Amino acid sequence: MTTVDTTTLRARFAARLSALYGTEVPAYTTLVEVSHEVNARVIERHGADAERLGSISRVTAERHGAIRVGSPAEMAQVARVFGALGMQPTGFYDLRDARPTPIPVVSTAFRPRDREELARNPFRVFTSMLVPEDRRFFDADLEQRLRTFLDARQLFPDELLTLADRAEAEGGLDEAAAVTFLDLAASAFALSPEPVDSAWYAELERVSSVAADIGGVTTTHINHLTPRVLDIDDLYQSMQARGIEMIDRIQGPPRWDGPDVLLRQTSFRALAEPRRFRDPDGVVSEGSLRVRFGEVEARGIALTPAGRDLYDRLVRTVDERTAESGEDRDVVAQQVWTEHLPATERQLCLDGLGFFTYRPAETLPVGTPPRDLRGLVAGGWLEADPIVYEDFLPRSAAGIFSSNLTGEGSVDASQGGAERDIDWMSATVGRDVAAPEDVYAAESRTSLEAAAATLGVTIAE
């Protein structure tokens, strides 16, 4: 019996979700088409250089999904489904203190962590869960009713979870079981035709439309599925040229002449989708909800903690200068970047701001190699290859959530919030939630140790 291994399962699942989402949100198909055109143009312009942060086959298949669940029990089940696909919880994001609009969720991203696995298929899913215990959003009575509602629903059928556990334990499934697993998994994320209880949905919507999207219905669904492009400015213009109205800017770092870092994202709001509603008198009527998205992203180099601190400082500087001068944010950001960030990838590496892997240079200099990383790179002993940023940005995530809101919601800042952090998330999913910077640092260190061993040096730092 042929075994469908973890990697193949993940690739097939990503392709299934993409096909499903395309039938649900037709503008997504346009977005994918335009992304392919943009990527082909970049490859034509820059050749092999364009693939420095990922091969064209990886980038073409690359997607991130966003889903939302309601409770720790549901989160733990999601972890099992993604565990079967080789996707591990990575990073912790608390959107409850997002500005300008707090969102009552905390999140992690399920993704492969291993470089080779990422190269084969980098599918990742930003997964958020409600915090009904947070008094800033939900009073005791609403919390109680919300939890009762969430406890009564089942997002993932038992058969799916059993197959997921088997796939994870055995590193794959035979073809027949794989087909069943993929069918069940994809349909768990499809939009349900079940009528929405309109009074319950509206009550939650008064708190937050994200709360209603999660806790107002008995199923979950993909909120968006995001392709990756090699030139997001070209993509933005090309979509507008096709008559699709984009949000007013690209989020994250600006376009500039230096190295791309972290993540740039932009999106359009999907059209309202027909949904059925059940009114308090039991009558079912046709209505619509507008909660889904077309998002697209371009990825850059992962930043070290020092690089990330600098990034956060630059973002604040851009905020301040934009507020003071009234100039366009993108123009200001480009100036600030040019003033403070190294203009080359090599300098980003030498300044310890970006994460890189290292390998011995093809032609080594003569003499004795120095014993420090900087000296080895500067002296031409080591070649540095950038590590691509595989995670998310809290501020952009908050932006995506907010552009999704139908109303302002209501937050009572005088109330205490429930404590949530990465350790709480680890306990909830029953797996270690890794901090992204630790994953990048380990990869960088491993490559450096191997390269140093080849050169016969012991790094002194």
- What residue ranges bind ligand OOG (CB under 6 A)? 66, 68, 126, 128, 223, 265, 295, 392, 396-397, 400-401, 404
Amino acid at the residue 141: D
Map tokens 């915090």 to a residue. Answer: 131
Sign of CA dihedral 16, 184, 84, 70: positive
Size of the site for Ni ion (CB under 5 A): 3
Question: Within 13 A of 38's CA, how many CA atoms are on the CB side?
Answer: 24
Map tokens 């002194």 to a residue. Answer: 460
Q: How far is the CB of 221 from ligand OOG (least distance, A)?
A: 11
C-alpha closest to that of 204 among 147, 161, 270, 162: 147
Alpha-carbon distance values, 129 to 73, 182, 215, 232 (Å): 10, 23, 10, 29
In the complex with ligand OOG, the residue whose CB is nearer, 103 or 318, is 103
Binding mask 375-404 for Ni ion (x = CB under 5 A): ------------------------------
The whole-angstrom distance between residue 349's C-alpha and the CA centroid of its chain comes to 25
In the complex with Ni ion, the residue whose CB is nearer, 74 or 297, is 297
| Residue 396 interacting entry, from ligand OOG, Ni ion, none, C-beta within 5 to 8 Å by type | ligand OOG
Alpha-carbon distance values, 194 to 101, 158, 198, 209, 429 (Å): 30, 20, 12, 19, 28
Q: How far is the CB of 222 from ligand OOG (least distance, A)?
A: 9
| Residue 128 interacting entry, from ligand OOG, Ni ion, none, C-beta within 5 to 8 Å by type | ligand OOG
Task: Check residue 98 for interaction with Ni ion (CB under 5 A).
Answer: no
- Which of the stretches 18-26, 51-59, 142-150, 220-228 binds Ni ion when contact is defined by CB under 5 A? 220-228
118's CB contacts (< 8 A; 6+ apart) are: 58, 111, 112, 390
| Residue 444 interacting entry, from ligand OOG, Ni ion, none, C-beta within 5 to 8 Å by type | none
In the complex with ligand OOG, the residue whose CB is nearer, 74 or 295, is 295
Task: Check residue 66 for interaction with Ni ion (CB under 5 A).
Answer: yes
| Residue 428 interacting entry, from ligand OOG, Ni ion, none, C-beta within 5 to 8 Å by type | none
Amino acid at the residue 88: Q
| Residue 68 interacting entry, from ligand OOG, Ni ion, none, C-beta within 5 to 8 Å by type | ligand OOG
| Residue 401 interacting entry, from Ni ion, ligand OOG, none, C-beta within 5 to 8 Å by type | ligand OOG
Q: How far is the CB of 235 from ligand OOG (least distance, A)?
A: 15
- Which of the stretches 156-164, 171-179, 224-232, 346-354 binds Ni ion when contact is defined by CB under 5 A? 224-232
Q: How far is the CB of 391 from Ni ion (least distance, A)?
A: 11
Question: What is d(CA 41, CA 23) in angstroms, rounded to the nearest whole number?
Answer: 27
Amino acid at the residue 45: R
Q: How far is the CB of 399 from Ni ion (least distance, A)?
A: 10
Q: How far is the CB of 126 from Ni ion (least distance, A)?
A: 5
Q: How far is the CB of 339 from ligand OOG (least distance, A)?
A: 27
Sign of CA dihedral 278, 281, 285, 287: negative
Q: Give, as one character, the DSSP assignment of residue 285.
A: E
Count CB-CB contacts under 10 A for residue 73.
13
347's CB contacts (< 8 A; 6+ apart) are: none
Q: How far is the CB of 126 from ligand OOG (least distance, A)?
A: 4
Token pair recorded at residue 412: 């009572």
In the complex with ligand OOG, the residue whose CB is nearer, 74 or 168, is 74
Task: Check residue 17 for interaction with Ni ion (CB under 5 A).
Answer: no
In the complex with ligand OOG, the residue whose CB is nearer, 62 or 295, is 295
Question: Within 13 A of 117's CA, how many CA atoms are on the CB side?
Answer: 17
Token pair recorded at residue 165: 């556990």
C-alpha closest to that of 270 among 24, 22, 27, 68: 27
- Which of the stretches 18-26, 243-251, 292-300, 426-434 binds Ni ion when contact is defined by CB under 5 A? 292-300
Q: Which residues bind Ni ion (CB under 5 A)?
A: 66, 226, 295
